[in-house]
Amino acid sequence: MKTDNISVLLADDHEVVRAGYCRLLEATDDIKVIAEASDGESAYTLFFEHKPDVLVMDISMPGIDGLEASRKILAKDKDAKILVFSVYENEVYLTRALDLGVLGYISKRSASQVMIEAVRKIATGTSYVGQEMMPFLVQARNSEDGDPISSLSPREFEVFLLLADSKSVNEIAELLNLSPKTVGHHYTHLKNKLGINDIAGLTRLAIRQGLMTP
């Protein structure tokens, strides 16, 4: 009996997408999807329940997103092997993910073989950035100093995305297990750092940076 399969937890909020990637990964002779999550919170819970070799994590999901879920997982288990796969191809998300300690990042539009190769690499503890993301990696390193978003802490960045997505202070406080007062402080810091005075401005910036769709 084969015992050296790479166990995978697949987190994506679209059932059809999960089904497609499950079929893709399980068509190999060395990868097994052992659990699926439809949001960031369940990804966090299922990770510690199943202890997969690799967590394949979408970014945009209901509730806490893939980056926040990754941050929480890595804070509790620094050896967690996480591969981000996302429709978002930009230097902001890529840099944020890698800075958190995520081992890999690939685009959802990349060839199916890329996902398989990435999972195998991540399972060995080797970092993997898809070829389609490499220009953004170079761009990120060259433009960090001039990008105000790069000055945001991981928590401020998470609050920024949720505010830009029209979540209220109270909703954000509940999602992130913070007090509304703390979220309010983050909002104030965001406005000061980004030079933006209202939610509409935050939304426009997020769309302009490719962090959310219009």
**Domain extent at residue 111:** 6-142
For the CA atoms of 46, 163, 60, 151, what is the dihedral angle to 10 degrees? -90
Q: How far apart are CA 158 and CA 11, in angstroms?
A: 18
Please give the model's pTM, rounded to 2 decimal places.
0.74
Say yes or no: 183 and 84 in one domain.
no
Give the residues of the chain that fall short of pLDDT 70: 1-3, 134-147, 214
pLDDT, tens digit, 9 for 90 and up, residues 153-209:
888 888 998 998 888 999 999 988 889 999 999 898 888 888 888 888 888 888 888
Q: Are residues 85 and 182 in the same domain?
A: no
The verdict on 172 and 70 lying in the same domain is no
Q: What is the CA radius of gyration of the chain?
A: 17
Whether residue 1 is contained in a domain is answered as no
- Give the end of a domain, one of 142, 176, 198: 142
Of 121, 142, 163, the last residue of a domain is 142
Residue ending a domain, among 142, 171, 200, is: 142
Question: Is there a single domain that holds both residue 168 and residue 132?
Answer: no
Buried b (16+ CB within 10 A) or exposed e, 119-142: bbbbbeeeebbbeebeebbeebee
In whole numbers, what is the pLDDT of the chain averaged over residues? Answer: 87
The total number of structural domains in the chain stands at 2
